[in-house]
Structure 1
Amino acid sequence: MASSIDLHPPIHWGQTQDSVSLRIGLTDVKYPKIDINESSVRFQATGCSGSRGEQLYSFEIELFDNIDSQACNYKINDREINVSLKKKKTVENNVWPRLTKTSAKLPWLKADFDKMAYSEDESDDGKKTSMPKKGLTDELCKSLRQNSRRNKSKNFIDIRTNWLLFYNLFQFMAYLWVFTRLIMHFISNGHLSNGYKLVENPIKLCQSLSVLEIVHPLIGFTKGDWFSPLMQCFGRNLILFIVINFNQQIKLSPFISYLFLVWSFVELYRYPYYGIRLLNKDNRIITWLRYTIWIILYPLGAFIEGVIVYKSIDYYHSNGYFSLALPNKINFSFNFALFLRIYLVLLPIGLLQMMKHMWNQRKKTLRKKKQ
């Protein structure tokens, strides 16, 4: 029977005449508890499956027939957990019609066709012995056909993962273009002044799309919180779309190019890291860079943002852009230059909060990799 815990790992099962195999699709397995007795298998562990982050997974399966628990074993590797169960009965054509005692369908349990003995298998002496089709009951054949249809659909990445892969790849390519364009501009001219014109449209597109990083966790597309992306998105878009966009004087400053280089360099490792995690892959170099390079670049980026805001205060004060003076119909006043001064005070506080969050993520991720 199934466990009452909601999260079940994906399991593929196969069989020969004398054994049953389980392939549990979990990576980065920690704290495994596997209990095998003659009639059931109980499992609980912390691990990762697909696009999910680290979660607690559990299941309990009541087996179709008894097994020899003393002859069973399991092996944990980086990609999955392999469990081998020895059937108690050793009669000829001992094929189970299903893995579970009951006929209830479990969506997380599939047939492993490469290890399913429904045509022929190898005997102990190494010779192939034919397994009669009558050994397969109608129920097993029906189950295999249903699982085959499900397996075909699973060959395609689900819509959510497909979208997230596209989004991360697009953002990576766009930021790579921004970074490369600015570096080429510096090599050709020996300075980074007036770099804003070269990358204005792609950097605006990237930062507009970054709003989706707040939406994704809110609608369940990704795990994690939405507040940290909100802080970063608000700060960057305020600087880009308002402070820089409406200040014609600051656009010529090389500080704009410095800022875009810092933003881009951070993302050149962040988006590939998310992409390989979606594919259930692991790259220690990218992981280390993603959780290390920010230690230098986040404070540097915040400093450059502060310089840009500071240089823009007099411009917005003298021109009155985005300010609202009394008297007016809504009886409300707003001084944008004063807002920018307040923002300068709050900027270090926001930076500390962001760095504290990233430091906790770094310790958690890199410690797990060492283990």
Structure 2
Amino acid sequence: MGSDKGKKGAYSDGVTNYLIAYNGIQTVGWSYLLYQIIAYYLTASATVTLYETVKTTVMIFQNAAILEVFHAQMGIVKSNPAITAFQVASRVMVVCGVLMATLSARSTVGLPLALVAWSITEVIRYGMYTLQLINWIPYVVTWLRYSTFVILYPIGVTGELLCIYAAQQEIGAKQQWSITMPNSFNVIFNYQHFLWFIMFLYIPLFPQMYMHMVHQRKKVLGPHKKSQ
């Protein structure tokens, strides 16, 4: 997660300013990515793919989310480190371990599904955190943060899985990023099998993550919250 602020005054000014800057930059970055996606489909060129259009932006701002794991681990934000680590790792895996590695993952419908879901979610999420840190957050922003996941989360996960599935087929055919015997380290690693394992993890973990957001929604958007 990003920066769910606790009690007022819980952070030093330095940490608060850092979190405002981090979340503000991420809001701008993901907004730009969403703009790139929209512009691509409005002015699509046969010579430039969606991946080529957004690869630098998504690489920078998705990998920047790794900092959130450290934020949670150090306790400067009120987020569960394990949940944060899985959420970040799954996307970084798709960006660096799937899209960078294969051509097939870049051409599947999973790519626009994932990118659209990610970018809308992150614009809202980081925008809310930024406003929360400056103590000015309209209710509609909070409502969007804890409501849009109902549709966007399944869309994003579907896109991720489609990208991974397309990638594992290509990787299996090429034996890409795999280690076979014999070798000096006497180890075997099959990257295709690793991707199968990653896909399998979505089965138990996605429902848990989704229900976590459902519980958060009930907690934050309870009947008495709006009047506050």
TM-score, normalized by length of structure 2? 0.89
Match of 1:292 in 2: 147
Q: CA deviation at 1:298?
A: 0.8
Superposed CA offset, 1:283-315 (max 9, x none): 110000000101111111111111111111221
Match of 1:217 in 2: 72
* Alignment match, 1:271: 126
Q: CA deviation at 1:168?
A: 0.6
Matched with 1:49 is: 8
Q: How does 1:335-354 map to 2 (within 5 A)?
A: 335-354=190-209
- Taking structure 1 as reference, are residues 311 and 252 closer, same or farther at Cα in structure 2, changes over 3 Å only? closer
Pairwise CA distance, 1:194? 1.4
Residue deviations 1:126-182 (CA, integer Å, cap 9, x gap) = xxxxxxxxxxxxxxxxxxxxxxxxxxxxxxx81111110011110010100010111
Find the aligned partners of 1:258 and 1:224 in 2 and give their Cα distance.
26
CA shift at 1:198, angstroms? 1.0
Indicate how the Cα distance of structure 1 residues 190 and 366 shifts in structure 2: closer, same or farther if over 3 A, else same.
farther
Q: Is the 8 A contact 1:51 1:222 kept in 2?
A: no
- Deviation per CA, 1:262-300, whole angstroms, max 9, x where unpaired? 110101110111112111223110000000101111111
CA contact (8 A) 2:30 2:61 kept: yes
Root mean square deviation, CA, Å: 2.1
Give the Cα–Cα distance (whole angstroms) in 2 for the partners of residues 278 and 200 of structure 1. Answer: 30
**What amino acid is aligned across from residue 156 of structure 2 in structure 1?**
G
Matched, 1:176 2:135: no
**Match in the other structure for 2:111:** 256
- For the pair 1:246 / 2:101, whether they are aligned, the reply is yes
Q: Secondary structure at the match of 1:369?
A: coil
State the secondary structure of the residue aligned to 2:159: helix
Contact 2:146 2:213 in 1 (8 A): yes
| One-letter amino acid of the counterpart of residue 181, structure 2 | L
Among residues 310, 314, 324, which one is paired with 2:165 in the alignment?
310
- Aligned with 2:61 (options 184, 199, 206): 206
How far, CA to CA, are the matches of 2:10 and 2:63 in structure 1? 24
Larger proportion of helix: 2
**SS of structure 1 residue aligned to 2:225:** helix
Q: CA separation in 2, counterparts of 1:308 and 1:237?
A: 13
C-alpha distance in structure 2 between counterparts of 1:169 and 1:286, whole Å: 15
| Unpaired segments ≥5 residues, structure 1 | 1-46, 53-156
Runs of 4+ aligned structure 1 residues displaced above 4 Å come to none
Partner amino acid, structure 2, of 1:288:
W
1:162 to 9, 12, 17: 17
Shift of 1:190: 8.8
- Pairing 1:115-154 to 2, within 5 Å after superposition: none
Q: Which has the larger radius of gyration?
A: 1
Measured after TM superposition, the shift of residue 254 of structure 1 is: 4.5
SS class of match (1:263):
helix
User: How is 1:29-44 mapped onto 2 (pairs within 5 angstroms)?
Assistant: none
Residues of 2 paired with 1:267 and 1:50: CA distance?
26
1:39 corresponding residue in structure 2: none
Structure 1 match to 2:189: 334
- Residue equivalent to 1:369: 225
Distance 1:280 1:344 in 2: 40
Answer 1 or 2: which has greater strand percent: 1
Deviation, structure 1 residue 352: 1.0
The amino acid that maps onto 1:287 is T
Once the two structures are TM-superposed, the CA of residue 330 in structure 1 deviates from its matched residue by: 2.2
Deviations 1:46-104, CA, capped at 9 Å, x for gaps? x942467xxxxxxxxxxxxxxxxxxxxxxxxxxxxxxxxxxxxxxxxxxxxxxxxxxxx
Q: Distance in 2 between matches of 1:236 and 1:357?
A: 18
Higher relative contact order (CA 8 A, sep 6+): 2
